[in-house]
A and B are shown apart, each in its own frame.
Chain A
Amino acid sequence: MTSRSKGFGEAPEPMKETSSKATLLNAAVLHWMHDLAAQGIVTTDNELNVVEWNHWMEEHTGKRANEVIGKNLLELFPELAERRLDRNYKWALEGQVRVLSQALHGYLIEMPAVSGEYGQASMQQAVRISPLSHADRVIGTLTIIDDVTERVAREAELQAQVEDRSRLLSSEKLARSEAERANRLKDEFLATISHELRNPLNAILGWAHMMRVGNLTPANAERAVETIYRNAKSQAQLVADLLDVSRIISGKLRLDVRTIDFIPIVNAAIDSVRPAVDAKGIRLHTILDPAAGPIYGDADRLQQIVWNLLTNAVKFTPTGGRIQVKVQRLDSHIEIVVSDSGVGISEEFLPYVFDRFRQADASYTRVHGGLGLGLSIVRQLVGLHGGTVSVHSEGEGKGATFTITLPLVGLISNEGEADSVQQPPNDEILSFDGLPSLEGVKVLVVDDEADTRELIREVLKGCGSEVITSCSATEALEALEQHKPDILITDLGMPGEDGYSLIEKIRSLPPDRGGDIPAAALTAYARAEDRMRVLRSGFQFHLPKPVDSAELVTVVASLAGRAYKT
C-alpha cells in the first residue's frame, strides 16, 4: 500500500464520509450530464480523443457513445478541419476558452434540425470549447453545444415583424401626408369658393340695399339692376360648375347622346366668348375643317367643353394676345386644338392642370378668379365621350395648347348656345339715416374690383365722407402722398401687390406721410386665421365681404373717432 492510499485510508471518519459523499456526488453529476443534460456535452483528452459523448449527442448525431469513445474527434468529424474549426481545439489545448456563435458559424457538428418547422435543415448551434486543466496543465477539452434553432427562427420572425411594422409605419405616413394634402387642397378650395361666391354677392347686396333705400336716379337704378344681374349670373355659373363636379363625382351626370355635327357647336362656343375676346383686344383665329364630320355625343356638354377651354384661354391671355381654335379630322377622330399666347403653365403645375380644385396660383395675389373646376370638368366630360384631352406649354409666359380628340361617327347635327359678358360699373349717391356723419373725413378706398370700389364710394359719400379710390397698392401709395386721407379701406386679395404688402409699406412710413393712418381690411377671405393675420399686420379692423353698409360706416366713423349721430 502506498503512503498516499494509506493516507486516504487513515482519514478520520467524518472526512471520509464527506469525501465519499463528494465522490458520489461527482459521479451523480457526471451521470446527470450524460443522461439528462439538454445540451450536447463532449469531453476529450489532450490528444482530442473522445472521453465523454452524452446521451444528447447520441440522440442528435445518431452516433452511439461506444462508437466514438476513444476515437479522435477531428478524425471522426473531418469537416471540422475543412471548416478550419479545428483551431479552436488547438487554442483550447493552449488554455483558451473559445466561443462559436451561431451567426458566424451556423454549427460545430452537423446534425439534423429537430423538426423542420423552423425552416432550417441543420440544427443551429451556439458552442463553448473550454480547456480542462489540472495542476496548471491542460489535460483535455470540454465542448458544450446548445441547440438555438428555435431561437434563431424566433429572432428572424421578430426581425421580420419589426421590418413589417416600419414598412407599415412609412406607408401609413405616406397615406397621412396624402390625406393632409387633400385636406389642404380642400381648405384652399373652400377659401377660394368663399371668395368667388362673396365677390358677386358683395355687389348684389350693396346695390340691392341702395335700391331699397330708394334714392337712385332712374339711370343709376338701371345700372344697379344690370350689375346685380351680371353678378348673379356669374354666381349661377359657379354654382352650375359645382353641381357638375358633384354629379361627375357621384356618377350622376347623364349625357343626352345623339349623332351631331361638331363644327356648329364650336361656332356657338366661339360666339359666346366673342364679346370677351373683343373687349380684351384678343385676335381669335379659327381653322375649322367643314368635313370634320359628325360625332356621337351630348351637344350641350360638348359645347361646354369648348366653351370652358375658350374662356380659360381668354382668361389667361393678356390684352392684345392671340387665340387659335383649330378643328380637323384625323383618321377616325376629330381633333380640337385651342392654343393661346397667354401666361402659359409652369412645368411643375402641368401634371395637375386637370385636377379638381387646383389652380396654379392659390395665393391672395392671384390675378385670375374662378374655382379651378373648368378644366377638371372638361377632362371628365371628354372622358365620358370616349375622348382624350391633353395640354402642352413651353412654360410660364409662353402660352398653352389644349388638344381634345373625340371619336367620329354618324351624320346628323345639333347646336347649343352660350352667354357671358363683362360690363363697366357705375356711380351713385345715397344717404343713411341713423349712421354717424362722416362729414370732413377723407377715406382712401383700395380695391381692384370696380364694383366693390364704387359701392363703398357711394356708401361713404352718402354719409358725407370724401372718397378717393385706387385700384392697386401702387396707386394707393401715390394717393396717400397726394391726398393725405384720414382713413384707409383696402381689399386684401389684389393682383400684383396685395393688401398686406400695402399696409406693411404704409406702416414703415413716418406719421407725417401717413404711416399711422387708421386702416381697415376688406376681404372675401373670411376665416378666423385671416382675421388674425389682418390684425397682426397693422390693420385696426377686418371687414368681411359682402360688406354691410352700416358696418362699413360705423367702422370708418370709429377709425375717425366719430360717434353715432344722436
Chain B
Amino acid sequence: MVKLTERQSDALSELINIAFARTGAALSELTGHRVLLNPPEVAVYQTIELRPALAKFVPGDVASIHQVFAGPVAGDALLLLNYDGAVHLTDLLTDGHNPSAYLDESAREVLTEVGNILLNACLGMFGNLLNVHVTFSVPRLHLETLDELLASLTEGKTELHYAVVVYTAFQLRDSSVKGFLVIVLSVASLDRLIQEVDAWEAQQSR
C-alpha cells in the first residue's frame, strides 16, 4: 500500500465526499428516495495488491461498472459491488420492481446508470481539480469473478499502476449496500493527482 500522509488522505476523502454528495443528490432525485453515500475511506494500493485488499469484501461474483477515461490523466474507473449487493441495490432503487435474486437486463441498465453517475461525479471532480479535460468511454457492466476483473485491469499494462480504492456504502430506505470505487492510474497520473490534492489542501487551509 502506498502511504498517503494523513493530510493527503483527509484531503482526498474530502474531495471524493463532495462528488459523493452530488451522486447522492442525483440518485435521490432520480428515485424519489433519500440516497446517501457513507463518507469515503480512501487507500492507495499497487494494482498487484488489490486482490487481498478486495477479496474479503467481495468474496463471490463481482458486478462492476467500468469506464475508461483518457486525456492528460488516463486510467480505469470502476464501481464494484458484490452480486447480492448489486441485486439489492437495484431492488431498492426501483422500488422492488425487480425482487428476483438475479440481475436481468433492466436491472443491469439501472446499475450501469448508477455507476455512471458516481464515476462521472468523481472523475469530473478530479478533472476540475487537475484542470484537465478527460474523455470517457461508454460505461459497461461486467459480471465476473474478482480474479477475472483484476486480470482485465492489469492486462497489457507493463508499467507500475496504482489504484485509489474508495470504500463506501449506499444508504437508502433503511438499507445499506457496500461498494467500492476503484480508480486505476499510472504512476505519473497518481503523482500528478497527489500533487494537486496537496495544492488544494494547502489552498483550503490558507
Instruction: Give me the interface of A with B, judged by CB distance under 8 Å.
Output: 84, 91, 94-104, 126, 128, 130-131, 133, 136, 148, 151-152, 155, 158-159, 162
Contacts and interface: CB of A to CB of B under 8 A. Distances in A.
Interface in B19-56: 29-31
A97 B105 contact: no
Nearest to B139: A99
B13 interface: no
Given A84-B29, A104-B31, A97 B110 contact: no
The 6 closest A-B pairs by CB, nearest first: A101-B109, A101-B113, A99-B116, A99-B113, A101-B110, A103-B110
Interface in B136-182: 136-139
B31 A96 contact: no
A97 B139 contact: yes
Interface stretch (B78-86, B91-99, B194-202): B91-99
A154 to B, nearest CB: 9
Given A104-B30, A104-B94, A104-B113, A96 B106 contact: no
Given A95-B127, A97-B138, A104-B110, 6 more contacts: A103-B93, A103-B94, A103-B110, A104-B94, A126-B109, A130-B138
Contacts of A131: 135
A155 B138 contact: no
A101 B99 CA distance: 17
B109 A152 contact: no
Contacts of B124: 94, 96
Contacts of B106: 101-103, 148, 151-152, 155
B97 A97 contact: no
A103 B107 contact: yes
B102 to A, nearest CB: 9
A91 B26 CA distance: 13
Contacts of A91: 120
B33 to A, nearest CB: 12
B100 interface: yes
A114 B16 CA distance: 44
B134 interface: yes
A162 B136 contact: no
B116 A103 contact: no
30 contacts: A91-B120, A94-B124, A95-B133, A95-B134, A95-B135, A96-B120, A96-B136, A97-B136, A98-B116, A99-B112, A99-B113, A101-B106, A103-B93, A103-B98, A103-B106, A103-B107, A103-B109, A103-B110, A104-B31, A104-B93, A104-B110, A126-B109, A128-B138, A130-B138, A131-B135, A148-B105, A148-B106, A151-B105, A155-B104, A159-B100
B67 interface: yes
Contact of B97 (A103, A126, A151): A103
Interface residues of B, number: 31
A104 B107 CA distance: 10
Contacts of B138: 97, 99, 128, 130
B109 A102 contact: yes
A101 B135 contact: no
A131 B107 CA distance: 25
A94 B67 CA distance: 16
B100 to A, nearest CB: 6
Interface string B100-135: 100011110110110010001000100100000111
A128 B141 CA distance: 14
A1 B122 CA distance: 48
A412 B36 CA distance: 86
B139 A133 contact: no
A131 B120 CA distance: 13
A100 B100 contact: no
Interface string B56-75: 00000000000100010000
Nearest to A126: B109
B67 to A, nearest CB: 7
A152 B110 CA distance: 13
B94 to A, nearest CB: 5
A24 B178 CA distance: 51
B32 to A, nearest CB: 10
Contacts of A155: 104-106
Contacts of B71: 136
Contact of A95 (B105, B107, B136, B139): B136
Nearest to B120: A96
A128 B110 CA distance: 13
Contacts of B113: 99-101, 104
Contacts of B116: 97-99
B137 A158 contact: no
Contacts of B31: 104
A181 B54 CA distance: 49
Contacts of A162: 100
Nearest to B65: A99
A162 B98 CA distance: 11
A99 B31 CA distance: 15
B104 A158 contact: yes
Contacts of B112: 99, 101
Contacts of B94: 103-104
A48 B93 CA distance: 30
B107 to A, nearest CB: 7
Contacts of A103: 90, 93-94, 97-98, 106-107, 109-110
Nearest to A144: B138
Nearest to B141: A99
Interface centre among B67, B97, B106, B139 (most CB of A within 10 A): B106
A159 B94 CA distance: 14
A306 B29 CA distance: 75
A128 B136 CA distance: 13
Contacts of B97: 103
Nearest to A152: B106
Taking each of B67, B90, B109, B110, which has the highest tally of chain A beta carbons within 10 Å of its own beta carbon? B109
A98 B138 CA distance: 8
A101 B139 CA distance: 12
A136 B135 CA distance: 8
B23 to A, nearest CB: 13
Contacts of B137: 97
Most-contacted residue by chain B among A84, A151, A155 (CB, 10 A): A155
Nearest to A151: B105
A159 B67 CA distance: 30
Contacts of A159: 98-100, 104
Nearest to B111: A101
Nearest to A131: B135
Q: Which of B71, B98, B105, B139 has the most CB of A within 10 A?
A: B105
Nearest to B106: A103
Contacts of B134: 95
A138 to B, nearest CB: 9
A385 B178 CA distance: 69
Contact of A133 (B29, B98, B135): B135
A148 B105 CA distance: 10
Nearest to B29: A84
Name which of A100, A103, A155 has the most chain B CB atoms within 10 A of its CB: A103
Contacts of B136: 95-97
